[in-house]
Structures are given as structure tokens and as C-alpha cells.
Structure 1
């Protein structure tokens, strides 16, 4: 569990966001955002009102627009870890897991694997894939090798689609490519990550 941090211990939060607590590092935060004292936001650009729950880590995310946004505030569940990573060819992927997930434990059967309480059958329908095509390696079935994160052309779309995969029961995607965390780390573009973070540091 993340330690509770007083508001004064945050770094580079915007003073105009008085309800943002926890640890905030080099980030732009919408003034109506709310976060708990047990949360971490690093290198984020959040342009819409958002309620960030307990034990949540957001890293490298961009969310300045959110399609079909018809609520006063976007609620993120507690115990959430999300990070957007630039990939080769100027593409992006955002992975998300529960704070308590054991991502590398392997399973013999599909029915024992749950992703935010959803079965693999449900996830396969959401991303328009066959359940047998969800893993990098059929002999190594784990959350680490689960290919469910959409590859997109911009970080905002990447974060939004991964978040909807978690939050919406009737959400369906038709992306050309989905990747696992294992693949994301192999394909990540370090130079783009450094460039993005440098831009935020210079602005904050």
C-alpha cells in the first residue's frame, strides 16, 4: 500500500488543484481533479476532471479529451496502476493492472485468469479477438503475456481505450494490434519517453 503523503510533500502539482493529494511529480492536473493521499501521479497531463482512488499509480499518461464524457468527473477505481509507453514507429500503448495483481504467475487454464474481475472470454469479445490469440506464448499464460492493450497513434487515445476496457461492460474495440506488457517493454521507444518527460519538466 502506498504511504499517505501530506499535500505539502507533493512535487510540481498545480496550486489551482487543491483536492489533489498524494505524490504528484512534474504533472499538469485539471483544477477539479481529486486524488487521495495514497496515490502517485508522475509525468501526467490530465485535462479533464478526474477522481483518482486509493493506492493508484498513474505514470506518463495524457488525457485531455475523453469521448462520450457526459459526467461531472471521471472516476478511476482504487488499486489501479496505469502507464502509457511510447513504442517504436511513434505508436503508443497503455497497460493497466490492479495494485494487488501477481502479473507473472502462470496459469494452466484460461478460466482461472481474471482481469479486473472479467474472464478472458469477456475480454476476448471486447477486443474482437479469439480467446486462443490472447497470449504471446500458449505455454506461458499470465497477465504479463496477455495481449489486450491496444496500440494507437496517440497517448490520449491509448489511455482512454485501456481505461474503457476496464470500466465499461459493453465496450468493444476493433484495433489492428494488441500487445502485452512483455511486448510493450520490448517495443518501447526510450527517446520518445525522455522527450515527453523533458517537455513536462520544462513546463512545470
Structure 2
């Protein structure tokens, strides 16, 4: 799925969003503060002054906390959404990146994480307060499969981010990995941020951002 077709899809469904509102760029979202760059944001979204949203298309009400950076995010639908607003934790960094073969992955880390520090044992590695054993169960993998190199264990090389066919699904599944204790995934492939950067499709990123710039 090319990004231009994704944008066409989004604009076709905007007038019929489930919450009865259409998307607007930042001036029409009065409770969105901080830095907003070329983004379409649901008018009921809220964000703190210490937040950054760049090249995002957010179609449901969302509360974005302090020290949060969202980049290249597409979220028009969210399965099992039964709240008035989706709450994102503070100190959150999330970015969706298009990969080769028209696939997508979204990585997420805590604002204060040291992603490059290496560990000798799995027990010392925590991801948003969760042990690797817990994360392995959530993504239906053995804990030994989370790293390619046993001598290079870090958040940077941790293979937990699902590879999906569209950016909305990518963001949603990574977010649920953080937020939901009972969430289980059965994806064919999981990648680390190191692998994401090696496999990224820069041309699709440029195309997506150009479309948003032209529309905002």
C-alpha cells in the first residue's frame, strides 16, 4: 500500500469519523499545545506544552502527556476503543517508519531510556517497567529470540516491534504492547530499532510528509 493511497483513504473517511468530527490541522484543536508540525489532529485531542507532534494524522480523541514525541503517526481507528479519550503516558517517544516491501513498524521508548547501554543478563532489561519475560509472552516469542546477538543486548537491539501492512495497525499494536497487561500478538516478524533503520524506505517517508505538507 503506497502512502498516497493511504492519504486518499484517510480523506475519504474523514467526514464520517466515529466520533462525529473531522480532522483539522493544529489551529482547530484548541487544547493541543507544544510544537505541532504539519499534522492533522482530532479537534478533541489534548497535549501538554512539553510535547512534539510532527507529520501525524490522528483521528480519535487522544490525551498526549508531558515530554512526548510523536512522529509520522497515523491513527484513524483503534480497535476496542470504548473510552472518550485515549490516554498516552508521559515521557513517550513513538515513530512509525515505512519499511521495504511496503511494510511498517512503530518503535516506542521512554524519554529517559538509554537505548544503547548493553546488558549481560536479561533480568536487568526493562521495557516500560516490564521484564523481557513478560514482553516475550506478549509477542508470543521465546525470550532467547528477542536478540540476534547474545553479546549485544540492549533496547536498541531488542526485537519486539511488530511489522505490519499499514501504519495505523503498526502504531496501535506497539502502543498496546506498552499499555495493556493482557495484550497478546501473533505477528510473523518483529524488529528492533536497529533493524528498522536498516530496512526503512526513505522515499515513502518523503512522499507521506510531502502529502501532509501540501494539505496543511
The verdict on a shared fold, with TM-score over 0.5 as the criterion, is yes
Q: Per-residue displacement from partner, 1:86-123 (whole Å, max 9, x unpaired)?
A: 00000000000000000000000000000000000000
Partners of 1:28 and 1:195 in 2: CA distance: 16
Which residues of structure 1 form unaligned runs of 5+?
A: none
Task: Compute the displacement of 1:5 (Å).
Answer: 30
Contact 1:5/1:37 (<8 A) preserved: no
Distance 1:2 1:135, change over 3 A: farther
Q: Taking structure 1 as reference, are residues 140 and 4 closer, same or farther at Cα in structure 2, changes over 3 Å only? A: farther
Alpha-carbon offset, residue 158 of structure 1: 0.0
Q: CA RMSD in A?
A: 6.3
Deviation at 1:136, TM superposition (A): 2.6
Change (3 A) 1:35 1:136: same
CA contact (8 A) 1:42 1:59 kept: yes
What's the secondary structure of 1:195's corresponding residue? helix
- Distance of aligned partners of 1:24 and 1:114 in 2 relative to their CA distance in 1, 3 Å threshold: same
- Corresponding position: 1:57 with 2:64: no
Q: CA deviation at 1:44?
A: 0.2
Q: How many residues align?
A: 204
Q: Which runs of 4+ in 1 moved over 6 A?
A: 1-12
Q: Which structure's residues are more often helix, by fraction?
A: 2
Alignment of 1:113-192 (within 5 A): 113-192=125-204
**Take 1:79 and 1:161, find their aligned partners in 2: how far apart are those partners?**
19
- 8 Å CA contact retained: 2:99, 2:201: yes
* Residue deviations 1:53-83 (CA, integer Å, cap 9, x gap): 0000000010000000000000000000000
Gap runs ≥5 in structure 2: 1-12
TM-score with structure 2 setting the length? 0.89
Deviation at residue 138 of structure 1 after TM alignment: 1.2
